[in-house]
A and B are shown apart, each in its own frame.
Chain A
């Protein structure tokens, strides 16, 4: 009996191989005829027919897809699972079923007004990227206090795919709770159960970088995705509430003040929250100094946030915001150059937007092989100069 088994085995194996060979022959035999062999009219006619049929099939298929795409566009609706997650980070005071059923948690239709942002697609085109965007805005109403909490759904690119976060905000646009709606990360087990990582978000606003949340988790790219999602959500919530550059507040955070003093002699600073992907804040000193907190992105090792004091369209002074860059810490050469503010000032001070744009990404400060860092730094300074120009004209207009 076992002989028969063996024979059958080989048969099925042969069958599979034969099938593969058949496909091979077909593929080869067929495609060869793509090449017009020219010559008599009959061949030309046949070739023409082939081209026409192929083009027709392609046309029909593409129009079918275009048609389907219109209806299949992903529109976010509030489902039970999302509602339960929101109930955890922005409690309604009732259980998940009641919160969903009695509509204490709702999806906001921005086009109906009530918020300063009315079109999410347009918002993402301006402030987001293809991998970093705001997906939806929800409200959660607490039945006991009547207080309404805003919850933003935003995504950032992790190691494998998009990480979607739900982020709740307090009245000062600071994060009050974070939950993960979906992710497909391969190293997620390293973050699973790390409550400290999620707690680290609380109280944050403006642009966030992964090193501000946690270090050495073994899942840096996932953290980066979460930080990106939170950053764009932070900017969005400020803008949606209409509290962008028009609502200045005095900067009171000691850490931020000590950073600001590196670039300006002013004793007090007024903060204008911008919250875009390129500019987090603008600070105005009591002596008239304008300092832009701008972000540069030069690729995976070239993310950096700089404080740039700008006057008359030129860079006056630069300082790196500690803990916000993704410079390679193992590359001593690179670190020593770009983590040194004196070096940065030597490169950038006195330069205009045009001059900064002309700097070589590869070879900044005579260090080669650090293109991404160079690109990141240059783009941060450019962003600062560009924003400062528009900021000044806004100021004059007021």
Chain B
């Protein structure tokens, strides 16, 4: 197995974090991060769809003609989203009551179509599944961090963080922090303090 590619794919969720770096999938991120439970629920639902759509699209990548690629992807993604919705309705009705309205919108989450297009349509099943998992978990983590910070702020008495406005501001601040840390990390890597031979992953 190509270790470099494996490492790159597996760490994609952090270094190419969908939320903080690629700035994709913002709507559910802000809308559903008022608490950790909702954030985790929606993150895992998205990760599930991402893994399975990646796998199926990768399997079918030689069958689907180039011209109807996107409509096919959309159908496959929408199918898995509907399955998740059915599952939530049946087995987790209370979670469904709070995040159910955002579930159908996973279809138009740019992360999923983006990964299908950029990765799954060009790579094998194993890597595609890994990419889906890494990106999905990266997305989930971002959501949970955001949800956790908002929960703390709400608990501290800042009621405004319950609203959409609080979501925008928290995400803006966290993104700035992430940029700052990533800057330090890359800077350090560049000056070879952390890695020798310029291996920056």
| Residues of A in contact with B (beta carbons under 8 Å apart) | 1-2, 4-6, 8-9, 12-13, 15-16, 19-20, 22-23, 26-27, 30-31, 33-34, 46, 49-51, 53-54, 57-58, 61, 64-65, 68-69, 72-75, 81, 161, 182-184
Q: In whole angstroms, how far apart are the Cα atoms of A1 and B185 in the complex?
A: 11
Q: In whole angstroms, how far apart are the Cα atoms of A13 and B93 in the complex?
A: 39
Q: Which residue of A lies closest to B117 (CB)?
A: A26
The 10 closest A-B pairs by CB, nearest first: A5-B183, A72-B86, A61-B79, A33-B67, A50-B68, A4-B187, A16-B23, A54-B68, A50-B65, A184-B97
Nearest CB in chain A: distance from B25 CB, A: 11
Q: A8-B182, A33-B67, A161-B97 are in contact. List 20 more A-B contacts (CB 8 A).
A: A4-B186, A8-B179, A8-B183, A12-B22, A16-B21, A22-B117, A23-B114, A30-B66, A30-B67, A30-B70, A31-B71, A50-B67, A53-B63, A54-B72, A57-B60, A61-B76, A64-B79, A73-B90, A74-B93, A182-B97
Is B169 part of the contact surface with A, judged by Cβ < 8 Å? Answer: no
Q: In whole angstroms, how far apart are the Cα atoms of A33 and B180 in the complex?
A: 44
Is B87 part of the contact surface with A, judged by Cβ < 8 Å? Answer: yes
Nearest CB in chain A: distance from B74 CB, A: 10
Nearest CB in chain A: distance from B22 CB, A: 5
Q: In the assembled complex, which residues on chain B have CB atoms less than 8 Å from the CB atom of A30?
A: 66-70
Nearest CB in chain B: distance from A54 CB, A: 5
B128-140 vs A, Cβ < 8 Å mask (1 yes, 0 no): 0000000000000
B67-107 vs A, Cβ < 8 Å mask (1 yes, 0 no): 11111100110110011001101100110011011000000
Could you tell me if A4 and B89 are in contact, using CB atoms closer than 8 angstroms? Answer: no
Q: In the assembled complex, which residues on chain B have CB atoms less than 8 Å from the CB atom of A68?
A: 82-83, 86
Q: Which residue of A lies closest to B66 (CB)?
A: A30
Of the candidates B21, B72, B117, the one whose C-beta lies within 8 Å of that of A53 is B72
Q: In the assembled complex, which residues on chain A have CB atoms less than 8 Å from the CB atom of B67?
A: 30, 33-34, 46, 50
Total inter-chain residue pairs, C-beta < 8 Å? 112
Of the candidates A5, A15, A27, A73, the one whose C-beta lies within 8 Å of that of B184 is A5
Q: In whole angstroms, how far apart are the Cα atoms of A4 and B179 in the complex?
A: 11
Could you tell me if B69 and A12 are in contact, using CB atoms closer than 8 angstroms? Answer: no
Q: In the assembled complex, which residues on chain A have CB atoms less than 8 Å from the CB atom of B114?
A: 19, 23
Is B113 part of the contact surface with A, judged by Cβ < 8 Å? Answer: yes
Q: In whole angstroms, how far apart are the Cα atoms of A348 and B69 in the complex?
A: 61
Nearest CB in chain B: distance from A222 CB, A: 14
Q: In the assembled complex, which residues on chain A have CB atoms less than 8 Å from the CB atom of B68?
A: 30, 34, 50-51, 53-54
Could you tell me if B70 and A9 are in contact, using CB atoms closer than 8 angstroms? Answer: no
Could you tell me if B117 and A57 are in contact, using CB atoms closer than 8 angstroms? Answer: no
Q: In whole angstroms, how far apart are the Cα atoms of A161 and B72 in the complex?
A: 32
Q: In whole angstroms, how far apart are the Cα atoms of A9 and B23 in the complex?
A: 12
Q: In whole angstroms, how far apart are the Cα atoms of A95 and B63 in the complex?
A: 61
Q: In the assembled complex, which residues on chain B have CB atoms less than 8 Å from the CB atom of A72?
A: 86-87, 89-90
Q: In the assembled complex, which residues on chain B have CB atoms less than 8 Å from the CB atom of A1?
A: 183-184, 187
Q: Which residue of B lies closest to A65 (CB)?
A: B82
Q: In whole angstroms, how far apart are the Cα atoms of A50 and B22 in the complex?
A: 32
Could you tell me if A183 and B86 are in contact, using CB atoms closer than 8 angstroms? Answer: no
Is B201 part of the contact surface with A, judged by Cβ < 8 Å? Answer: no
Nearest CB in chain A: distance from B28 CB, A: 16
Of the candidates B63, B66, B186, the one whose C-beta lies within 8 Å of that of A8 is B186
Q: In whole angstroms, how far apart are the Cα atoms of A15 and B114 in the complex?
A: 12
Q: Provide a sorted-by-A list of 20 A–B residue pairs whose CB atoms are within 8 angstroms.
A: A5-B187, A6-B183, A8-B182, A8-B183, A12-B21, A12-B182, A19-B24, A22-B118, A23-B110, A30-B66, A54-B68, A54-B71, A54-B72, A54-B75, A57-B60, A57-B72, A57-B76, A73-B90, A161-B97, A161-B100
Q: In whole angstroms, how far apart are the Cα atoms of A69 and B82 in the complex?
A: 10
Nearest CB in chain A: distance from B63 CB, A: 7
Nearest CB in chain A: distance from B174 CB, A: 14
Could you tell me if A27 and B190 are in contact, using CB atoms closer than 8 angstroms? Answer: no
Q: In whole angstroms, how far apart are the Cα atoms of A58 and B72 in the complex?
A: 8
- Chain B, 147-201, CB within 8 A of any chain A CB: 179-180, 182-184, 186-187, 190
Is B27 part of the contact surface with A, judged by Cβ < 8 Å? Answer: no
Q: In whole angstroms, how far apart are the Cα atoms of A13 and B20 in the complex?
A: 10
Q: In the assembled complex, which residues on chain B have CB atoms less than 8 Å from the CB atom of A33?
A: 67
Q: In the assembled complex, which residues on chain A have CB atoms less than 8 Å from the CB atom of B186?
A: 4, 8
